[in-house]
Structure 1
Amino acid sequence: MSHPALGAPIWRSTFEGVGFRSSGQLGAMRARVEDVDATVLEDGLGRLSMMFTQVGRRSAMQYEVAVPLDVTAQQVAQLLASAFERAHPETREKSTAPDSPAEQGRVRVGGALVEREQAFEWAREYLTGSSAWAYPAYDAYDARSAPDSIEDADLLAPVLLNVHRLTLKAYYGLQQQRNRLQECLAAIPEDAELASAGDDDLEPIRLLFAVLDAPGIPDVQGTILAKILHRKRPGFIPLYDERVRRCYQVGPRAPLPVRRGRPWGEFFVALAMAMRKDLVDQYDTWAEIADLASDPPISLLRALDIVAWRAGGDRSPTELPDLPGT
């Protein structure tokens, strides 16, 4: 993570490059896109807070996004564009790139393209349907557990999200790695969002999943660990299983090549980068899907997983097992 004192000049230069100017006495910077105001300042926790505000005759909009100090100009521009499109949804058709999934009425998850209506139908069924689905059981499970603490109950959470076999060896092995995992979690802000994370911010993900590399944890691989850790940083740590892997590694459009022997930590950083692109490119779509959840709310990353799980399940690729180095 970037240090505020060192990162401040860099972020100010980045924001100046996309039209922000100094504003007020607190070191804030401000930009305006027609009737949408954007203000950014350091939040005192080593990150930046971006506030978007739009007030019109018929509508009002205000929301805040936390971004890292080393946010790129491209990411800032995308956040500005998303804010304007939220305020003016009628402009979406005009502003969308011709070859983008949204222009074609589809949602992209890795290499899978899903019709937009189908993606929303899946999400509505999952988030508002019968008790056959893992929401809200997984998302609300042991909700009082501290964000930086991995309790014994947390180790059982994957059972609520399609993990049908969690052995005693796995349970005891995870307990032995508890302190190491908690140290890595503490390096990630509680409100961290993958969509606004810089590449350097992904290092804790590598360290978390590196516990799976030799000698590893008995009977634990990427699926189980991801489903434990995601609940601690739901906006930042990806969920993963065979269906998600298919979306990102199978087919001609899949962004992650299969490479045997790749360490788990390295693989999850690459997966996070690919998911970040999907989140940024289709930010409003994932926000709309996430809004379908009521109690508890879900993150954009969880919304992506819901669609990925169905998209990966409906395909018929050659299966690869959940092994290190995929």
Structure 2
Amino acid sequence: MTTPAGSTAPAVGVTSAAPAAPRRSRRGRASTDASPGPRESAVSRAAAMLVMGVFTLYFLTPIWWLLVSSSKSRGDLTSTAPLWFSDVQLGENLAAVWSYQGGALPQWLLNSLVYAGGGALLATLLAGMCGYALAKYRFPGREVLFNVVLGGVLVPATALALPLFLIFSRFDGTNTFWSVFLPSIVSPFGVYLTRIFAAASVPEELLEAARLDGSGEVRTFFTVSVRLMFPALVTVFLFQFVAIWNNFFLPLIMLRDSDLFPVTLGLYNWNSVVNQLPELRLYVLVGALVSIVPLICVFLLLQRFWRNGLGTGAIK
């Protein structure tokens, strides 16, 4: 009787101890999963916030100064604190600069919108098509062509201004709308960016499925690939729009007719005669303030797509 009882006792002990091991293992795993990773120290977080605050202040201070200066009268412009308001006359200044020289500033703004908007749109379309072709089609010389595009990214736009002027002069194309617009639709950086993005975001299986369904290459590009490449296309559009809007040297050497001037060149001409016409100093400031409004609007309208594209690229 004693022996079976003694033999039963270890069995009971084993039976009761068997479930305990997994529980300890589960607790061990839970404690491992719940253990916090390396946390950012308060000092590094504060240092990062300080650096970002300094850079933010650095970039926003000129805009703040421009806004404050544009709201002052001519007398207050030089006699009051440069970074704070005095007698606010922004509305009167806007009305005055808007009607000066028969409405020259609105004409220049419209020219800049046409140059930048139309040029950026066509540049984005051409860059997207070229980048897609370089990423998805196999043909002789593809890598050589892509290396040439990379070389174009490294060439500054000012280095191309004089050759472009000589080319347009040969065909009597200077002092025309096309002399500024046509060079603006070429974007080597856009080709490079869309090529990289198309290779990563457009699956070959999806293209094959579209071809099997009877879709042609052009239709496949516009109905399938463009949707997948849309964040990259928005990025190209933003970069190209800003680059064309701020373009100064090419219009300077190409244009003589003030009716064709973009806003950058028009304000430069006003600023060049400030010593002879002191009232133009205030007009230049107000015009510069007005000229940055379209850039802010375009960025605010498209930033959602841009941020989505950056997030998608980070996940990929």
TM-score, L = length of structure 2? 0.30
Higher helix share: 2
Q: Which has the higher contact order (CA 8 A, sep 6+)?
A: 2
TM-score, L = length of structure 1? 0.29
Larger radius of gyration: 2
